[in-house]
Chain A
Amino acid sequence: MKVHVKAFATFREVMDSQFEMDFPVGATIRTLLAELMGRYDGLGELMFADPGTLRDFVNILKNGRNVHFLAGLDTPLDDGDVIALFPPIAGG
């Protein structure tokens, strides 16, 4: 199945801004992040507090809904999903 990935703000400094990825049925957000970490050096440091622990303020949206409110990293991917990754910008 195909999933469209979009990255925003400082994530764009270490990864492509948008692209498609192929996954087998049953893949989850966790699968996607593992794939991305293997693909992009530096992404792990931005997204993870230590190897394997996602920084809790990293926002991952599946079709506009934050996966914090779904099944978190176990949120299943579906064909045609748009997955957006962005860190909250805080300054004013």
Chain B
Amino acid sequence: MTVLEKEQKERYRRQIAVVSEEGQEKIGKTRLLIAGAGGIGSAAALFSAMAGFGSIRIIDPDCIEETNLNRQLLYRETDIGRPKADTAAKALHAMNSDIDVEPVTATIGTTPVRDLIYGIDVIIDGLDNYPARYAIADAAWKCGIPFIHGAAEGFYGQVCTIVPPISPCLRCIVPNPPPARQTPIIGVTTGIIGCVQVTEAIKLATSTGIPMSDYLWLWEGFREKADRLKIERVPACHICGKDEYQIPTTERVL
């Protein structure tokens, strides 16, 4: 039995033609966490709000800077200096007043991760560094929450949907993080990655399609190519495997 109201049926009419009323209802009941309100997070949050995800928690510790405006499409010039999470929440609510949006201005690593992911059904990774990704993804794995990983650099991007307990975890794919640095980035790449992640979230919410859970999807905008890279779960992984495993440091090659 559907509980969509008349206004919702009209608002989502074109989308219901794809996902059915039951599917739209499931999207409406899905509680989404957007971790990071930067380039990827902005795009993912915007399309999530438009799709009608009924509850969106959006987390970011930062305030809006001028250099964000080439890609972070939730923000305007007049928003410079304002907290990202609050500003994003206002923009999302203006886009869709039917949904609940909860802004959280917090740094992952100093705020308990379990508090940040509490009550969440699906997490979208809009983060810009691996220590924060590991913190959220590890906790999500332990709590059985799907984590839709996404990252972008220049014209390159990647997405993988981590679905515990069946898929590889983030540590199986990227066991060692690259050094922190300011990543060169172009807005369209973050938009593409955020949109692919929301596609995955819709598939998970409606239990349709096959999530990208056993491969890494790699986008290369410069040559307009998308590739799938098969990923296998690692029995020795210290997060999703059974055995304790120490990540090696640098190795001599020659």
Contact = CB atoms under 8 A, between A and B. Distances in A.
Interface residues of B, number: 55
Contacts of B229: 6, 8, 61, 64, 84, 86
B192 to A, nearest CB: 13
Contacts of A26: none
Interface in A47-92: 48-49, 51-57, 59, 61, 63-66, 68-69, 72-73, 82, 84, 86-92
B206 interface: no
A59 B251 contact: no
Given A6-B229, A30-B254, A84-B229, A68 B176 contact: yes
B129 A90 contact: yes
Given A88-B178, A92-B38, A92-B151, A68 B253 contact: no
A42 to B, nearest CB: 16
B151 A90 contact: yes
B178 A90 contact: yes
A8 B218 contact: yes
Given A63-B230, A68-B248, A91 B185 contact: yes
A64 B250 CA distance: 21
Q: Chain A's interface: helix, strand, loop or mixed, by majority?
A: mixed
A14 interface: no
Interface in B142-190: 150-154, 156-158, 172-181, 183-185, 190
B128 A69 contact: no
B251 A73 contact: yes
B211 interface: no
B89 to A, nearest CB: 18
Contact of B150 (A9, A64, A86, A92): A92
A61 B152 CA distance: 20
Contact of A69 (B237, B250, B253): B237
13 contacts: A8-B229, A30-B253, A51-B254, A53-B252, A64-B229, A65-B234, A68-B248, A69-B236, A72-B248, A89-B151, A91-B128, A92-B125, A92-B128
Interface of B: 36, 38-41, 125-130, 150-154, 156-158, 172-181, 183-185, 190, 215, 218, 220, 223, 225, 227, 229-232, 234, 236-237, 245, 247-254
